[in-house]
């Protein structure tokens, strides 16, 4: 009798595990379809939300990165909507179009070493990690940085290195970088980031006043030092401010 009861209990447990696994598979398939639809939208010539994303490597990276795994659980139903989402601590994850456009402007190459300022949820770092050799990402809000580091590790991104600290100062020990991307807005272009960018390298950064419309800039560095730069104004954007130690986000 006891043995039969234990057998029934064991069988029920196996059934529950199988049901849970099936539900998870269905959820992942639903997210995959939503991700595919989002990528198709961003690449469409008929889309009116901005210039279409045309870089095939960037679009493929967006297909591979599970954005729903890099947002708070309560935001997962909205993960593949083209809009920013709150991630806590007064911060947001950028809308997918902005992530794709900034990545496309950066023109990442497979051998590149890229510095990211503003880890946030880790989504932009994950997209870059699909495209380059190494990503060095800095987050000043420690709980956010640690959460992102854990999620990225769980997703298997061994080529992403997370640091907690002042992103304005960059990561001089790992410089120079082939490219720099900044996902929070300072009111001017940080000199340390220009210094850590290789000649010929590219920086994508939003610049402007706090909580107002800023300009997304593409900066290309020349061979004569940090002041030898060419600036292209790309589009208006709104980002959270780039904060320094002691400042409120």
pLDDT greater at residue 15 or residue 241: 241
What the block records as the tokens of 241 is 């401010």
* Gap between the Cα atoms of 206 and 236, Å rounded: 9
Helix axes 56-64, 96-106, angle to 10 degrees: 140
In a domain, 42, yes or no: no
* CATH number of the domain bearing residue 172: 3.40.50.150
What the block records as the tokens of 127 is 């997209």
CB distance 38 to 96 below 8 Å: yes
Stretch 31-54: mean pLDDT: 89
Percent of the chain surpassing pLDDT 90 = 78
Q: What is the pLDDT of residue 17?
A: 52
* Gap between the Cα atoms of 50 and 38, Å rounded: 14
In a domain, 165, yes or no: yes
In a domain, 210, yes or no: yes
In a domain, 141, yes or no: yes
In a domain, 188, yes or no: yes
Active-site annotation holds for 94: yes
Q: How far is CA 90 from CA 20, 47, 71, 149, 201, in A?
A: 34, 30, 14, 19, 31
In a domain, 204, yes or no: yes
Alpha helices in 2-95 (DSSP H): 2-43, 56-64
DSSP assignment of 178-210: EEEEE-SB-SS--HHHHHTEEEEEEEEEEESST
* Gap between the Cα atoms of 28 and 9, Å rounded: 29
* Gap between the Cα atoms of 133 and 122, Å rounded: 16
Number of domains making up the chain: 1
Range of the domain at 193: 84-237
* Gap between the Cα atoms of 193 and 191, Å rounded: 5
In a domain, 168, yes or no: yes
**pLDDT, tens digit, for every residue of 195-214?**
999 999 999 999 999 878 89
In a domain, 24, yes or no: no
What b/e sequence results for 130-165 when a residue is b if at least 16 CB atoms lie within 10 Å of its CB, and e otherwise? bbbebbbbbbbbeebbebbbebbeeeebebbbbbee
Q: What is the pLDDT of residue 14?
A: 54
Closest CA to 36 of 64, 71, 77: 64
What the block records as the tokens of 183 is 């996902």
Stretch 7-31: mean pLDDT: 65
DSSP state of 42: H
Stretch 96-108: mean pLDDT: 96
* Gap between the Cα atoms of 48 and 40, Å rounded: 13
CB distance 236 to 215 below 8 Å: yes
Largest CA distance in the chain: 85
Residues 5, 44, 94, 121: which is the catalytic one? 94
pLDDT confidence band for 223 (50 / 70 / 90):
confident
* Gap between the Cα atoms of 81 and 195, Å rounded: 37
CB distance 91 to 147 below 8 Å: no
């Amino acid at each position: 009798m006891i043995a039969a009861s234990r057998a029934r209990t064991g069988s029920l447990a196996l059934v529950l595990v199988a049901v849970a696994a099936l539900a998870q598979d269905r959820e992942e398939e639903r997210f995959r379809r939503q991700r595919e639809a989002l990528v198709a939208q961003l690449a469409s010539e008929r889309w009116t939300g901005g210039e279409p994303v045309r870089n095939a490597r960037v679009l493929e990276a967006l297909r591979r990165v599970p954005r729903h795994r890099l947002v708070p659980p309560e935001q997962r139903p909205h993960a593949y909507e083209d809009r920013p989402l709150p991630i806590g601590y007064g911060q947001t994850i950028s809308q997918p179009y902005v992530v794709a456009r900034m990545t496309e402007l950066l023109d990442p190459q497979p051998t590149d070493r890229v510095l990211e300022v503003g880890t946030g949820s880790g989504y932009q770092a994950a997209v870059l990690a699909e495209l380059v050799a190494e990503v060095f990402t800095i987050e000043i809000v420690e709980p956010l940085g640690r959460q992102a580091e854990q999620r990225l590790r769980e997703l298997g991104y061994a080529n992403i290195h997370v640091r907690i600290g002042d992103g304005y100062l960059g990561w001089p020990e790992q410089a120079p970088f082939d490219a720099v991307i900044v996902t929070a807005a300072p009111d001017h272009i940080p000199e340390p980031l220009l210094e850590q960018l290789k000649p010929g390298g590219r920086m994508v950064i939003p610049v402007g006043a706090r909580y107002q419309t800023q300009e997304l800039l593409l900066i290309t560095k020349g061979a004569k030092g940090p002041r030898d730069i060419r600036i292209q104004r790309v589009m208006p954007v709104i980002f959270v401010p780039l904060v320094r130690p002691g400042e409120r986000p």
